[in-house]
Amino acid sequence: RKEVEQDPGPFNVPEGATVAFNCTYSNSASQSFFWYRQDCRKEPKLLMSVYSSGNEDGRFTAQLNRASQYISLLIRDSKLSDSATYLCVVNRGVNYGGSQGNLIFGKGTKLSVKP
């Protein structure tokens, strides 16, 4: 199983649609979870952290299922400006020989919102 696995997409959706991305991670000892957004040829930017209880930030909702080692991101009322690649990110966790705080980045899911 890959450390962090995402569907690469692309997800092509119309403006106003609701879209959901999923991500699975392999290390049950991981404790920190994030979603980053990366625009074409730009650096990744932190979108939101993911908490055990789930959390919401405007149109974005993140969920964590530790038992299934599964993270999701829901985007409601999609805007053209949401078009980007969304990276699922987890920390390595205590089982890793190096630093448990180091992050592992998924390859990303590409979203394209059309008018």
Partner 1 sequence: DGGITQSPKYLFRKEGQNVTLSCEQNLNHDAMYWYRQDPGQGLRLIYYSQIVNDFQKGDIAEGYSVSREKKESFPLTVTSAQKNPTAFYLCASGGGQGLQNEQFFGPGTRLTVL
Distances (CA, A) of 114 to 76, 78, 87: 14, 9, 20
CB nearer partner 1, residue 7 or residue 76: 7
Residues 8-47 that bind partner 1 (CB under 8 A): 8, 31-32, 34, 41-46
CA distance 4 to 112: 22
- Token couple for 104: 């592992």
Task: Give yes or no for residue 101 binding partner 1 (CB under 8 A).
Answer: yes
DSSP letter (8 states) at residue 62: E
Amino acid at the residue 46:
L
Q: Provide, rounded to whole angstroms, the least separation between the CB of residue 24 and partner 1.
A: 14
Task: Give yes or no for residue 90 binding partner 1 (CB under 8 A).
Answer: no
CA distance 30 to 112: 30
Which of 24, 27, 78, 91 forms a contact with partner 1 (CB under 8 A)? 91
The residues binding partner 1 (CB under 8 A) are 4, 8, 31-32, 34, 41-46, 49, 87, 91, 98-108
